[in-house]
């Protein structure tokens, strides 16, 4: 950089102009050279400048510095810096403070030698104009149903300290603090900051702005839009009631969607009038919180009444209900059989029924009717049974038989028209056992079945269950016209139980052993520990009426299904 010099030569005899380099002196002299002044920085209320002092040549400087003013050619009578004594070349800088913003100043260096003040060339500077701060709305994150977080950044304060900064929000695109829905103040000055946005409504669009305030006013970043999470009613399904007894049942549900808000309550509710909800229900259960499946026990039912049940789930939006399921208390219409002792078997029939022996059974309950097509369809649909897919390496039912009265249509098992109350057929032992467990019971033991068929303690010593005349109580090949019949259409036995003789063979729980009977008395016998066949009792519509004798025994493979194999349930 080229340096301009202002030369002042003090001499007793004459004034001579010389350069800053070593040239031959013509006379005895002392000289001071002030180089070009450079403006280093300029701000709102301050500036700085630097100058080179060279070629002192033995002169003594008692004061030096910069002076400045809004007027041209400032002097030491104006604002100045004073760095005192100097006896050698030097580059020095001055900080000019307490300037006015947006103003033109003139600055030049000076040096005092004796009684003389030497000034260098002046430089011009213009301070920066103050104004509103510069702020940006960076973005919005962590959006929930009613809150969000907004980030802003103050890039510059424009000359005045930031007195406040923060986040404001509204549903309008353009707004200020005076008309926003709310705002939050965040401490600090220059730099990035974040503020919480609260009190919002779900599923609504909002706009957020960062703002900063200084002495000159408030400035806003561009608005950033965001939408709060929407909230809907939950989605819940109702499970098909199961384990239906005279006074209780098992039901439940599954919350498949929380609706965008946490599930605060869930359970089932029921009544006898239809369309159950928490307000009109006889009672309801509480089964925790959150999504997923749950089960409940329904107590306090009245036998024979029809009930309507629905699962419910509650979130911040409200309460939603699943499908309404209908069931009849004591769906299987159980008959209580008081325990007692009886003569099981016969000494006058086939070998596997011999010998007659004393058997004692405890009290139990058994289905009034054989399990129907409708009841079994309810079970299959509830467990989402898939045809042609094996369950535990076994099939439950075969519906492709010409005699089957169940169809599989659009993913649902449906009884043939008019066949809902006919006994289900083509059920394997595994399928019968699975239904019994689903209904909260079990298959009857062979001893229980024969005791019930005999009329229990009310036994009247009949050949068939309830009569010595087969046609009165039993559907056999002599009166069935080649098909099953609706359950309960002939006479019951002494206990009010139907069709224990005829209509369909009935699976029992026991393994079949033709040599199982002994002369010893037995208490609650459950049959052999293992075997190849399971017991079937009662004969069917396709057999001679004589096969339906109470004491007649039969067994077959548990995987087997047939057009006349059915069952009933015991508790």
Phi-psi region of 235 (alpha: psi -120 to 50; beta: other; left: phi over 0): beta
pLDDT band for position 391 (50/70/90)?
A: low
* 145-192 residue pLDDT tens: 899 999 999 998 988 899 999 999 999 998 999 999 999 999 999 999
Fold of 235-328: Immunoglobulin-like (2.60.40)
pLDDT band for position 25 (50/70/90)?
A: very low
Sign of CA dihedral 128, 132, 138, 141: positive
Q: What is the mean pLDDT of residues 188-212?
A: 95
Question: Which distant-in-sequence residues (6+ apart) come within 8 Å of 215 by Cβ?
Answer: 130, 160, 161, 163
* % of the chain at pLDDT higher than 70: 94
Lowest-pLDDT range, 9-13, 66-70, 259-263, 417-421?
A: 9-13
Hey, is 264 helix, strand or coil?
coil
Closest CA to 248 of 297, 306, 285, 309: 297
For residue 19, pLDDT beyond 60: no
Contact 539/500 with Cβ under 8 angstroms? no
The listed CATH number (3.50.50.60, 2.40.37.10, 3.90.1580.10, 3.90.180.10) that belongs to domain 335-566: 3.90.1580.10
For residue 398, pLDDT beyond 50: yes
pLDDT at res. 242: 83
pLDDT band for position 8 (50/70/90)?
A: very low
Fold of 134-227: Immunoglobulin-like (2.60.40)
The pair of structure tokens assigned to 463 is: 């050949």
Q: At CA 96, angle to CA 94 and CA 100, rounded to 5?
A: 165
Is the preceding omega at residue 355 within 30 degrees of 0, hence cis? yes
Quote the distance between the C-alpha of residue 265 and its chain's center.
14
pLDDT at res. 3: 30
How far apart (Å, rounded) are the C-alpha atoms in residues 534 and 562? 14
CATH number of the structural domain 6-126: 2.60.40.10
pLDDT band for position 32 (50/70/90)?
A: confident
Quote the distance between the C-alpha of residue 372 and its chain's center.
40
How far apart (Å, rounded) are the C-alpha atoms in residues 458 and 80? 129
* 499-554 residue pLDDT tens: 999 999 999 999 999 999 987 889 999 999 999 999 999 999 999 999 999 999 99
Closest CA to 74 of 122, 4, 131: 122
Contact 310/277 with Cβ under 8 angstroms? yes
For residue 27, pLDDT beyond 60: no
pLDDT at res. 22: 36
How far apart (Å, rounded) are the C-alpha atoms in residues 57 and 45? 38
pLDDT at res. 518: 83
Strands 79-80 and 116-119: unpaired
> Domain coordinates of the chain in residue numbers?
6-126, 134-227, 235-328, 335-566
Q: What share of the chain is helix, strand, coil (3-state, %, to 5)?
A: 10, 35, 55
For residue 479, pLDDT beyond 90: yes
pLDDT at res. 388: 65
Q: Compute CA distances 80 → 34, 170, 191, whole Å.
A: 16, 52, 35
Strand ranges (E), 182-264: 182-185, 191-197, 205-214, 217-220, 224-227, 235-238, 249-257
pLDDT at res. 141: 97
For residue 24, pLDDT beyond 70: no
pLDDT at res. 247: 84
Lowest-pLDDT range, 129-133, 298-302, 384-388, 467-471?
A: 384-388
pLDDT at res. 163: 94
For residue 6, pLDDT beyond 60: no
Residue of 69 and 15 predicted with greater confidence = 69
pLDDT at res. 389: 58
pLDDT at res. 393: 61
pLDDT at res. 536: 98
CB atoms within 10 A of CB 163: 13
The pair of structure tokens assigned to 47 is: 């500036």
The pair of structure tokens assigned to 36 is: 């070009």
Q: Compute CA distances 100 → 66, 74, 97, 219, 476, whole Å.
A: 18, 16, 9, 22, 118
* 438-476 residue pLDDT tens: 888 999 999 999 999 999 988 888 999 999 999 999 999
Closest CA to 566 of 478, 476, 499: 499
Quote the distance between the C-alpha of residue 510 and its chain's center.
47
pLDDT band for position 244 (50/70/90)?
A: confident
pLDDT at res. 13: 23
Residue of 70 and 440 predicted with greater confidence = 70
pLDDT at res. 9: 26
Closest CA to 253 of 318, 301, 306, 320: 320
Q: What is the mean pLDDT of residues 24-39?
A: 67
pLDDT at res. 15: 27
* 324-365 residue pLDDT tens: 998 888 778 899 999 999 999 998 888 899 999 999 999 999
Averaged pLDDT of the chain = 90
Q: Tell me if domain 134-227 and domain 235-328 are identical in fold.
A: yes
Quote the distance between the C-alpha of residue 456 and its chain's center.
55
How far apart (Å, rounded) are the C-alpha atoms in residues 182 and 190? 23
Residue of 20 and 491 predicted with greater confidence = 491
The pTM score is 0.57
For residue 11, pLDDT beyond 80: no
Closest CA to 179 of 159, 207, 156: 207
For residue 5, pLDDT beyond 60: no
Residue with structure tokens 């089964």?
Answer: 287
């Amino acid at each position: 950089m080229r340096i301009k010099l202002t030369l002042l030569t003090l001499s007793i005899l004459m004034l001579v102009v010389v350069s800053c380099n070593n040239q031959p002196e013509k006379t005895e002299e002392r000289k001071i050279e002030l180089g070009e002044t450079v403006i280093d920085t300029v701000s709102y209320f301050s500036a700085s400048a630097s100058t080179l002092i060279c070629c002192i040549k033995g002169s003594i400087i008692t004061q030096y510095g910069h002076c400045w003013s809004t007027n041209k050619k400032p002097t030491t009578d104006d604002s100045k810096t004073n760095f005192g004594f100097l006896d050698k070349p030097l580059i020095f800088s001055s900080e000019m403070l307490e300037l006015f913003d947006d103003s033109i100043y003139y600055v030049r260096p000076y040096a005092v030698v004796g009684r003389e003040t030497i000034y260098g060339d002046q430089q011009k500077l213009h301070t920066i104009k103050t104004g509103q701060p510069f702020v940006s709305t960076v973005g919005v994150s962590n959006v929930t149903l009613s809150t969000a977080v907004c980030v802003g950044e103050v890039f510059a304060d424009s000359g005045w300290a930031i007195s406040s900064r923060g986040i404001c929000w509204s549903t309008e695109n353009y707004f200020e603090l005076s008309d926003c829905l709310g705002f939050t103040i965040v401490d600090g000055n220059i730099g990035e900051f974040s503020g919480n946005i609260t009190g919002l409504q779900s599923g609504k669009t909002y706009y957020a702005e960062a703002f900063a305030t200084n002495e000159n006013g408030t400035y806003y970043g561009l608005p950033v839009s965001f939408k709060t999470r929407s909230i809907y009613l939950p989605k819940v399904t109702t499970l098909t009631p199961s384990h239906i007894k005279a006074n209780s049942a098992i039901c439940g549900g599954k919350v498949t969607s929380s609706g965008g808000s946490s599930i605060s309550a869930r359970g089932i509710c029921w009544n006898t009038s239809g369309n159950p909800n928490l307000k009109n229900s006889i009672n309801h259960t509480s089964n925790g919180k959150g999504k997923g499946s749950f089960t409940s026990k329904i107590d306090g039912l009245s036998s024979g009444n029809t009930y309507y049940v629905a699962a419910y789930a509650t979130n911040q939006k409200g309460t939603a209900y699943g499908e309404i399921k209908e069931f009849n208390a004591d769906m299987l219409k159980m008959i209580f059989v008081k325990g007692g002792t009886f003569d099981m078997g016969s000494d006058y029939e086939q070998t596997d029924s011999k010998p007659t022996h004393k058997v004692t059974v405890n009290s139990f309950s058994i289905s009034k009717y054989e399990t129907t097509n409708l009841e079994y369809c309810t079970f299959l649909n509830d467990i989402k049974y898939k045809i042609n897919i094996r369950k535990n390496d076994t099939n439950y039912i075969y519906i492709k038989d010409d005699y089957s009265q169940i169809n599989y249509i659009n993913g649902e098992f449906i009884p043939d028209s008019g066949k809902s109350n006919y006994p289900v057929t083509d059920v394997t032992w595994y399928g019968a056992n699975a239904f019994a467990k689903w209904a909260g019971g079990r298959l009857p033991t062979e001893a229980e079945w024969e005791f019930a068929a005999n009329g229990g303690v009310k036994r009247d010593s009949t050949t068939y269950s309830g009569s010595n005349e087969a046609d009165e109580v039993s559907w056999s090949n002599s009166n069935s016209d080649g098909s099953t019949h609706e359950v309960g259409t002939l006479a019951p036995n002494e206990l009010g139980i139907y069709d224990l003789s005829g209509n369909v063979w009935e699976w029992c729980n026991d393994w079949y052993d033709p040599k199982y009977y002994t002369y010893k008395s037995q208490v609650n016998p459950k049959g052999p520990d293992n075997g190849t066949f399971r017991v079937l009792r009662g004969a069917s519509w396709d057999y001679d009426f004589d096969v339906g004798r109470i004491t007649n025994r039969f067994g077959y493979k548990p995987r087997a299904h047939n057009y006349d194999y059915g069952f009933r349930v015991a508790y």
